[in-house]
Structure 1
Amino acid sequence: MSVSVSDWFWWDRIWLPCNYTWKDLENDEGTGAVSPAQLYVTLPLALAFILLRLFYERAIATPVARAMGIKSEVRLKAPFNPILEDHYVTASKHPSQADVYGLAKKVNRTTLQVERWFRRRRNQDRPAVMKKFQESCWRFGFYLCALIGGVAVLYDKPWFYDVWEVWVGYPKQEVLTSQYWYYVLELSFYWALLFSVAFDVRRKDFNVQVVHHCATIFLLNFSWSVKYIRVGTLTMLVHDVSDVLLEAAKMCSYAQWKKSCNVLFGVFALVFAVSRLVVFPFWIIYATTVYPLYYCPRFFLYYFFNMVMFILQFLHIYWAYLIFKMVQKMLSGNMSGDDRSDNEENDSEENEDQSLSNGDGKKPIVNGQHDH
Structure 2
Amino acid sequence: MSRPLSAHRMEALINEWLWQEKYWLPPGVRWQDIEIKEGDGRIPLPRDLIYTLPLAFTFIALRYVFERLIAFPFSKYLGVKDQIRVRAASIPKLEIFYKQNSRQPSQSDVVNLGKQCGLSQRKIQTWFRHRRNQDRPSNTKKFCEASWRFVFYLVAFTAGLGSLINSPWLWDHRECWRGYPKQPVAEAHYWYYVLEMGFYLSLLMCVSVDVKRKDFKEQVIHHIATLFLIGFSYCANYVRVGTLVMLVHDSSDFLLESAKMFHYAGWTRTCDSLFVVFALLFLVTRLVVFPGRVVYTTLVVSTEFFQPFFGYYFFNALLLVLQALHIFWAYLILRMVYKFVFLGKVERDERSDEESEVDDEEEEHEEDGEECSWQQRKGTINSKLASLANNCVLNNLTNQRNMNSRLPKAR
- Identify the TM-score tier after normalising by the shorter chain: 0.7 to 0.9
SS of residue matched to 2:223 = helix
Q: Which residue identity lines up with residue 308 of structure 1 in the other structure?
A: L
Structure 2 unaligned segments of length 5 or more: list them.
Answer: 1-9, 368-411
Q: Which residue identity lines up with residue 339 of structure 1 in the other structure?
A: E
SS of residue matched to 2:207 = coil
Contact 2:59 2:198 in 1 (8 A): yes
Give a deviation string over 1:223-273, Cα, whole Å, max 9, x none. 111111000000000000111111011111111111111111111111111
User: Which region of structure 1 is more displaced relative to structure 2, 46-55 or 19-28?
Assistant: 19-28
SS of residue matched to 1:326 = helix
1:81 to 91, 96, 114: 91
Partner of residue 274, structure 1: 284
Q: Which residue identity lines up with residue 36 of structure 2 in the other structure?
A: N
Alignment of 1:70-109 (within 5 A): 70-72=80-82, 74-89=84-99, 92-95=102-105, 100=110, 103-104=113-114, 106-109=116-119
Partner of residue 245, structure 2: 235
Q: State, as a whole percentage, how many aligned pairs show the same letter.
A: 48
1:222 to 232, 235, 246: 232
Q: CA deviation at 1:312?
A: 1.0
Distance 2:130 2:179 in 1: 63
Contact 1:285 1:309 in 2 (8 A): yes
Q: CA deviation at 1:100?
A: 4.8
1:135 equivalent in alignment to 2:168: no
Q: CA deviation at 1:90?
A: 5.2
1:9 to 18, 23, 26: 18
Partner of residue 217, structure 2: 207
Distance 2:41 2:30 in 1: 15
Distance 2:101 2:225 in 1: 34
Q: Which has the higher contact order (CA 8 A, sep 6+)?
A: 1
Partner of residue 294, structure 1: 304
Q: CA deviation at 1:330?
A: 2.3
1:338 equivalent in alignment to 2:328: no
Q: Which residue identity lines up with residue 34 of structure 2 in the other structure?
A: L
Contact 2:67 2:144 in 1 (8 A): yes
Alignment of 1:135-284 (within 5 A): 135-284=145-294
SS of residue matched to 1:322 = helix
Residue 7 to residue 102, structure 1, CA distance change in 2 (3 Å): closer
Distance 1:130 1:171 in 2: 48
1:119 equivalent in alignment to 2:150: no
Indicate the structure (1 or 2) with the bigger Cα radius of gyration.
2
User: Which region of structure 1 is more displaced relative to structure 2, 22-31 or 161-170?
Assistant: 22-31
Give a deviation string over 1:126-149, Cα, whole Å, max 9, x none. 111111111100000000000100
User: Which region of structure 1 is more displaced relative to structure 2, 325-334 or 161-170?
Assistant: 325-334
Cα RMSD after superposing both structures: 2.2
Distance 1:335 1:21 in 2: 55
SS of residue matched to 2:79 = coil
Q: Which residue identity lines up with residue 338 of structure 1 in the other structure?
A: D
SS of residue matched to 1:34 = coil
Q: CA deviation at 1:306?
A: 0.6
Contact 1:160 1:234 in 2 (8 A): yes
Q: Scaled by the length of structure 1, what TM-score is found? A: 0.88
Contact 1:43 1:188 in 2 (8 A): yes
Contact 2:225 2:322 in 1 (8 A): yes
Structure 1 unaligned segments of length 5 or more: list them.
Answer: 351-372
2:31 to 17, 22, 28: 22
Q: Which has the higher helix share?
A: 2
Distance 1:101 1:183 in 2: 55
Residue 33 to residue 91, structure 1, CA distance change in 2 (3 Å): closer
SS of residue matched to 1:41 = helix
Contact 1:14 1:301 in 2 (8 A): yes
Q: CA deviation at 1:110?
A: 4.4
Partner of residue 61, structure 2: 51
Contact 2:35 2:182 in 1 (8 A): no
Distance 2:342 2:120 in 1: 37
User: Which region of structure 1 is more displaced relative to structure 2, 302-311 or 18-27?
Assistant: 18-27
Distance 1:101 1:328 in 2: 41
SS of residue matched to 2:317 = helix
Residue 83 to residue 234, structure 1, CA distance change in 2 (3 Å): same
Q: Scaled by the length of structure 2, what TM-score is found? A: 0.80
